[in-house]
Amino acid sequence: MIDEKILVWKFNRKSKDALRRIYEKYKDDLLGLAVTLLRDRSLAEDVVHDVFVSFARTAGRFTLSGSLRGYLSTCVANCARDRNRLKSRLDVGLDAVEDVGTDSDDPIESAAGSEEAQRLQEVLGRLPYEQREIIVLHLHQEMRFREIAEALGISINTAQSRYRYGLEKLRSILNSTVTK
């Protein structure tokens, strides 16, 4: 936590080294989050890129209220949501079928490699985006419901109910795949 504060302090003094260290520290975590949310590696890379460029522009006037990881995760989630909306609109416009998994850069393949991780990515991909977002932010990024609700501009109750419904659906998907 102190390291983080020092990094932010240096970052606010336009230290490129501090920015590099922040990027190095969180890049994989944030890319993983974006990949899980978007299920598209190139889109996820664009999201992380945009988030860090925007973050760099705040140098000199950045104030950190919570954790830096939580802040950056929120930025990634918000940016990913915008990308997802745009992607959905384009998909509807082209009447296209989701082609996740056909790309050689498929996040499922490039993930940890474990069957469990691949399976989770598949199951999460079948959840509505809003539910997937809450589950990932809470369980992967370890954000509290209050933080998530503030970041997404929704009430805590909404965040919790989305999480609950998401987990129920996830459980039912897993059960159905197990029984097949």
Partner 1 sequence: MKPTDNSENFVRRGKAKVATDPQMDKRVLDDSFAAMDETAAGPSIVRMIAHGRAAKIVAAAVIIIAVGLLMNQPEPPEQKPPNIGNVTKSPVEMLSAMSLNMAYRRGGLEAMDDLSNEAFEKLGSKPAGVSVRELLTGSNGV
- The residue from 1, 92, 94, 178 that contacts partner 1 (CB under 8 A) is 178
State in angstroms the smallest separation of the CB of 57 from partner 1: 5
Query: Closest separation between CB of residue 86 and partner 1, Å?
Result: 20
How far is the C-alpha of 109 from the C-alpha of 26, rounded, in Å? 21
Q: What does each C-alpha distance from 23 to 12, 45, 49, 98, 136 come to in angstroms? A: 15, 13, 10, 31, 20
165 near partner 1, judged by CB under 8 A: no
Cα 133 from Cα 78, distance rounded (Å): 10
User: How far apart (Å, rounded) are the C-alpha atoms in residues 56 and 145?
Assistant: 27
* CA-based max dimension of the chain: 58
Query: Applying CB under 8 A, which of residues 5, 6, 27, 82 lies at the interface with partner 1?
Result: 27
Of 35-43, 67-75, 83-91, 94-102, the window that binds partner 1 (rule: CB under 8 A) is 35-43
The answer to whether residue 93 forms part of the interface with partner 1 (CB under 8 A) is no
Find out whether 39 and 107 touch, Cβ atoms under 8 Å: yes
* Binding footprint of partner 1 on the chain (CB under 8 A): 14, 16, 19-20, 23, 27-28, 31-32, 35-36, 41, 44-45, 48-49, 52-60, 107, 110-112, 114, 116-117, 119-121, 124, 135-136, 139-140, 167, 170-171, 174-175, 178
